[in-house]
Amino acid sequence: MGPEDLDQVLKGLSLPKDPRVLVGIETSDDAGVYLLNDEIALVQTADFFTPIVDDPFVFGQIAVVNALSDVYAMGGRPLTALNLVGFPIKTLSPSILREILRGGLSKMEEAGVALVGGHTVEDPEVKYGLAVTGIVHPHKILSNAKAIPGDQLVLTKPLGTGVISTALKGEMASEEAVQKMVASMITLNRKACEWMQVLGAHACTDITGFGFIGHALEMASASQVGLVIQSKSIPFLPKALEYGGMGLIPGGAYSNRQFFSCKVEVGPTVPSLLIDLLYDPQTSGGLLVSLPPGEAEKMVTALHREGHTDTAIVGEVFGEPRGRMKIL
């Protein structure tokens, strides 16, 4: 669902009050956080979607990595998961669903997450994802609401999954482009989470369906800060700009632009194509982390050493204008 539709649905809902809810839906954060005691808070999230690749095993991997990312974005450690499945069992072989689940389990095992159950429904379209429970120390929660003026912004994965997925659906994507996209989407954000905790990050969000601009603006709004983004520093997947230039822009990018563009100022030399890709909805994207300048450099160096070679400093946090973004 696009951001404008979701905003209309949620507007006016009366939420139960509970002082133990440390992070709720008010700041459009990546997961909810609930205080258990002085040492432990629960982190909870759910995410599922339709296939974006043909291989069921790989789809399962992507869906699990995408769902776990919300816990990592809060600085947490995922512990348990429930499978969420929609599947047309009367028209597709059960072996396809088994492969999806097998792919998902491979990534849960890598992340140290225990599968403890799930729920399935018959559905004309395949859907898969997880409900995830994790933990975080109450003093180490990384919400999207604590970016500080003077911080630098680190992006841990390249952009372009939406555009390349669109090219794949149209049978126009090269094998190399698809391989690079899949490699990015099945990479856990665990190492990025570990390093941002070590380096004392102030805020974090993951880049998913609302695109880079949408999720960065949610951080700006929740933190009451302004962001300046250096467009030339943003990493993109191979062929993403080429496919975008061919008009292979997913519909979600236009929904994101319609809702968020009123809060974005674009410099005169920034190509319009690049802006299109900053609205591109991502699947299993990277983390956008707000850190003190010296620590931002350390995070980039550390993640490059870990093999996350696209990690880059892409912008800076300012005091004004609050809730807005400038792209240079």
102-120: pLDDT as tens digits = 999 999 999 999 999 999 9
Strand ranges of the sheet holding 203-206, from the earlier edge strand across to the other edge: 203-206, 287-291, 152-155, 312-318, 226-229, 324-327, 264-266
Pairwise CA distance, residues 155 & 234, whole Å: 8
d(CA 80, CA 74): 16
Q: What is the pLDDT of residues 24-46, one digit of tens each?
A: 887 777 799 999 999 999 999 99
Burial pattern 287-311, b for ≥16 Cβ within 10 A else e, equals bbbbbbeebbebbbebbeeeebebb
Predicted pLDDT at 249: 95
Are residues 327 and 265 in contact, defined by beta-carbon separation less than 8 angstroms? yes
Rounded CA separation 132/47 (Å): 9
Q: What is the DSSP string of 127-182?
A: EEEEEEEEEE-GGG---SS---TT-EEEE-S-B-HHHHHHHHHTT---HHHHHHHH
Confidence of residue 290 (pLDDT cuts 50, 70, 90): very high
Mean pLDDT computed over 196-224: 97
Percent of the chain whose predicted confidence (pLDDT) is above 70: 99
In the chain, the domains with their CATH numbers are 14-140 (3.30.1330.10), 152-327 (3.90.650.10)
Model pLDDT, residue 5: 80
Answer whether residue 297 shows pLDDT above 80: yes
Confidence of residue 321 (pLDDT cuts 50, 70, 90): very high
Q: What share of the chain is helix, strand, coil (3-state, %, to 5)?
A: 40, 25, 35
Q: What was the pLDDT predicted at 35?
A: 98
The reported pTM is: 0.93
Report, as an integer, the average pLDDT of 295-307. 97
Q: List the structure tokens of 72.
A: 């990592």
Q: Calculate what percentage of the chain has a pLDDT beyond 90.
A: 92
Q: pLDDT, tens digit, for every residue of 56-84?
A: 999 999 999 999 999 999 999 999 999 99
Give pLDDT, residue 2: 72
Name the band, by pLDDT with cuts 50, 70 and 90, for residue 3: low
Give the residue-averaged pLDDT of 198-227: 97
